[in-house]
Structure 1
Amino acid sequence: MNKMAGWKSCAVTLALCAASVGAHADDLANVHKAGELVVGTEMQFAPFDFLENGQQAGFNKDLFAEIGKELGVKVRFIDLPWPSVLPGLEAHKFDMVGGPLTVTKARADRYAYTLPIADATDALLKRTGDTSLKQASDIAGKTVGAGKSTAQYEQLKVWAATLPKPPEIREYVDFNQAYSDLAAGRIVAVANSVTNIAYVAKQRPDTFAVMQPSFGAKVYYAYCMRKDEDSKTLLAAFDAALVKMNKDGRLAALQKKWLGVAMDTPSTLPAPNY
């Protein structure tokens, strides 16, 4: 190759690189270009996401419909087993996770959280009429359940280790399986956020009851995105939409509809308690 040809080749390469850089867009720009926000979730997590007559129902469906209006895009959900959701986010299979997730230190180091949308403090669900369980510490030496790869499982494991005789903890792929085992008497309780189990107990009061008080640290639910530069604009736009919904009462209305009560949620993301 002669010298002039070499310079021409370099010029073409630099032009292609410049075009590639110029074509790069962040996540918000990509969402607007596609006309849709793609959300990964697990539809076995009532009252946030669940299936009713084969169709999605719950808090997330309603909240993201409002978010879509604010962003000017449609929202499309992808239903996956929970252990596959966060890996799917990292693999860029969707724009964000709609669990929602408990805000924890380990996750906050790895993912970018939105503003909180509900209380996620842990509590225990038991069978209605089980007089052997009057308070959370009564699960000592018994068998309880929690969701596989969930923050509720991790917090239960830490708290249970402080009991005189730690309980056996069974992990379930989804909480519906845990609730089924609880109803059948194969375990004595299920650990989940008080928000979730209050909904379950309300739906089946003859079968389930919430044990009070809750246990563990005060924590919140939020959604999450990838923790990179490209996600910053999408996160800012999402949070701005949440703030607007909080101010005009739409968030409180959805909390009352699906969670039973309007909840005070922080206007900034609090530091995780564990």
Structure 2
Amino acid sequence: MADNGFIKQLSDLNGVLVGTQLGSSTDAVARQMNDELKAAGGKGFSDLRLFQSYPDTAFNLSSGQVDAIVVPNISAAEFMKTTPDAFKVTFSYGKPAYLSWVTRPEDKTLLEALNGTITRLVKSGQIAEMQKKWVGLESGTPEDGYLPDNAVQLKQ
């Protein structure tokens, strides 16, 4: 979000023009935020504008076409890294979402190689270093509680 000084929490988005990426995970999150605002007796967003990409949302925020954007932390970090004075994360919403490597159940050798490499990189601190270098923030690597509902995790 732009550092306009008045958006510090969810309720500050009542009556605000918000943007996000069409069909993305944050599209659903933004709609949930709007519903939550209305359920709490607020006006909700003045409008939700949907764009083709996260960079499009950032452009529309910087050009004043929207007042705030809902984007993943990784996108926000990239925007702040490339244009440090233009954007600021004013608050986070919801639980963290993580990306996963998925293999077929019969690919046990590949699964073991992926798990082993990721574990080694986490323990050595290299994952955190790469996250900071390439993304601009350390997002952490959970050991449990990250699987979506009904997911199956194969044990090694």
Percentage of identical aligned residues: 27
Residue 158 of structure 1 deviates from its aligned partner by 0.9
In structure 2, the residue matched to 1:171 is 50
Residue 261 of structure 1 deviates from its aligned partner by 4.3
Q: In the alignment, is residue 256 of structure 1 matched against residue 144 of structure 2?
A: no
Q: What TM-score, normalized to structure 1?
A: 0.46
> What is the DSSP-based 3-state SS (H/G/I as helix, E as strand, rest coil) of the residue aligned with 1:171?
strand
Residue identity opposite 2:60 in structure 1: D
Residue 220 of structure 1: which of 93, 97, 114 is its match? 97
Q: In the alignment, is residue 239 of structure 1 matched against residue 112 of structure 2?
A: no
Q: In the alignment, is residue 138 of structure 1 matched against residue 2 of structure 2?
A: no
Q: Summarize the Cα distance change of 1:254–1:207 in structure 2 as closer, same or farther, 3 Å threshold.
A: same
Q: Deviation per CA, 1:12-65: give whole Å up to 9, x if none.
A: xxxxxxxxxxxxxxxxxxxxxxxxxxxxxxxxxxxxxxxxxxxxxxxxxxxxxx
Residue 272 of structure 1 deviates from its aligned partner by 4.0
Q: Summarize the Cα distance change of 1:264–1:225 in structure 2 as closer, same or farther, 3 Å threshold.
A: closer
| Stretch of structure 1 that moved more, 142-151 or 198-207 | 198-207
Of the two, which has the highest radius of gyration?
A: 1
> Separation in 1 of the partners of 2:44 and 2:107?
41
Native 8 Å contact 1:144 1:187 kept in 2 = yes
Q: Summarize the Cα distance change of 1:190–1:251 in structure 2 as closer, same or farther, 3 Å threshold.
A: same
Q: Deviation per CA, 1:200-258: give whole Å up to 9, x if none.
A: 1232133222213x112x223213446x4455653443222111211222212102213
Q: Summarize the Cα distance change of 1:138–1:175 in structure 2 as closer, same or farther, 3 Å threshold.
A: same
Native 8 Å contact 1:152 1:192 kept in 2 = yes
Q: Deviation per CA, 1:71-108: give whole Å up to 9, x if none.
A: xxxxxxxxxxxxxxxxxxxxxxxxxxxxxxxxxxxxxx
Residue identity opposite 1:257 in structure 2: K
Detail structure 1 runs of 4+ shifted over 4 Å in the superposition: 230-233
Q: What TM-score, normalized to structure 2?
A: 0.75
> What is the DSSP-based 3-state SS (H/G/I as helix, E as strand, rest coil) of the residue aligned with 1:221?
coil
Residue 263 of structure 1 deviates from its aligned partner by 4.4
RMSD: 2.5
In structure 2, the residue matched to 1:89 is none
Q: Summarize the Cα distance change of 1:174–1:250 in structure 2 as closer, same or farther, 3 Å threshold.
A: same
Native 8 Å contact 2:18 2:67 kept in 1 = yes
> What is the DSSP-based 3-state SS (H/G/I as helix, E as strand, rest coil) of the residue aligned with 1:145?
strand
Structure 2: gaps of 5 or more residues: 150-156
> Separation in 2 of the partners of 1:231 and 1:200?
37
Residue 267 of structure 1: which of 107, 118, 143 is its match? 143
Higher normalized contact order (CA 8 Å, seq sep 6+, divided by chain length): 1
In structure 1, the residue matched to 2:33 is 159
> Separation in 2 of the partners of 1:152 and 1:181?
16
Native 8 Å contact 2:18 2:66 kept in 1 = yes
Native 8 Å contact 1:132 1:138 kept in 2 = yes
